[in-house]
Amino acid sequence: MLTLLEAAKLQTDSLKRGVIEEFPRTSPVLERLPFQTIQGNAYTYNREAALPGIAFRGINESYTESTGTVNPVTEALKIMGGVSDVDRALVKTQGNVNDLRSTHDGLKAKAASLFFTKCFFKGDSEDDAKSFDGMEKRLTGNQVIDMGSSSGGDTLTLAKLDELIDAVVGGPDVLFMNKTLRRKVNALVRATGAAVETVSDSFGRQMNAYAGVPIGVIENDHEDNAILGFSEACPGGGSDVGASVYACRFGEGEYLSGLQAGEMDVIDMGLHSGGVAYRTLIEWICTIAVFHSRSAARLRGIKNA
């Protein structure tokens, strides 16, 4: 199972490689999320619910039978993509067809990456049956931590951030939040007299970290709307001005993973639209799967203060 960045390195088709590379470059989610290729249009797996009992026994004693509990879960694949056209007149008047198409295909790939990122957090199959459910809908119970109970939200604290980290089995690989909350984390760390941690991402870019966990900043979606903005309902009621921080651990068959029917399709369809435009199809049949109930957690109800 590969991340998109690793998959792009194996591509010999330069058009396809360039498009696939744009996905992890644009999204800190897709930079880290591994994808498992499956057969068919859905995938059924067992999610651990409770471990079996273990005990000591004396001589001539027997064990009490105890079997673990698993819950079957089925994830349906969803079809995501789009086409990008470059008018042949632009090619004739402005230069090389490959350069122009590369620019427009890159824009389409960037939009698709941001669209997937939004669905990763906010997807809701009840609102859009063609979409998959995101982390906001999937996380429940102890995996959703309230910042507090004040109307309109509560101010972020490092203690609550520590609680969020501890809610993920084995510790998270990354914390996802908006830029404002990233700045607040840095300010809280500096206030303790400690230095702000920095690490490098897969492209060599510097990024902040907290408690050794990289902070992935989630910005706007393909329509320039904040994905993790201060627009969520708060546990204590009041105006919808809260935001969330997500902690995630990734791993095939164990934690949080992507599922796909095969590698992303990037198809040169040649001249299209009556022969007046060069068309590229980008399509990806995919979804996400939460193999362990504690592979991710959400801290909600954080106000901008």
Terminal-residue alpha carbon distance, the chain: 41
Q: Name 248's bridge partners.
A: 174, 296
Do 243 and 264 lie in a common domain?
no
Contact 139, 285 (CB under 8 A): no
Do 24 and 96 lie in a common domain?
yes
Angle between helices 158-166 and 179-191 (to 10 degrees): 110
Which value, to the nearest 10 degrees, does the dihedral of the CA atoms of residues 289, 291, 292, 293 take?
Answer: 40
Do 152 and 239 lie in a common domain?
yes
pLDDT, position 252:
86
* 64, part of any domain: no
Tell me the residue range of the domain where 151 lies: 142-252+293-302
pLDDT, position 98:
65
d(CA 229, CA 218): 9
* 59, part of any domain: no
Residue that has been written with the tokens 């914390």 in this structure: 175
pLDDT, position 192:
96
Type of residue found at 254: E
* 57, part of any domain: no
DSSP conformational letter for 143: G
How far lies 51's CA from each of 45, 48, 64, 70, 157, in Å?
17, 8, 14, 9, 33
* 58, part of any domain: no
Do 283 and 297 lie in a common domain?
no
* 164, part of any domain: yes
pLDDT, position 41:
94
Give the closest residue to 114 by CA, choosing from 3, 225, 262: 225
Residue that has been written with the tokens 């904040």 in this structure: 226
Give pLDDT tens digits for 293-305: 999 999 999 999 9
pLDDT, position 22:
85
Taking the chain (305 residues) in runs of 10, the rounded mean pLDDT of each run is 67 71 90 94 89 93 90 95 90 74 88 96 96 98 97 98 98 98 98 95 94 97 97 96 98 94 91 88 96 97 96
* 267, part of any domain: yes
d(CA 80, CA 77): 10
CB burial readout 153-163, b (16+ within 10 A) else e: bbebebebbee
The dihedrals phi and psi of 251, each to the nearest 5 degrees, come to 170, 140
Contact 261, 38 (CB under 8 A): yes
Give the closest residue to 31 by CA, choosing from 204, 231, 273: 204
* CATH number of the domain residue 280 falls in: 3.30.2400.20
Sign of the dihedral through C-alpha 289, 260, 38, 130: positive
Count of the separate structural domains present in the chain: 2
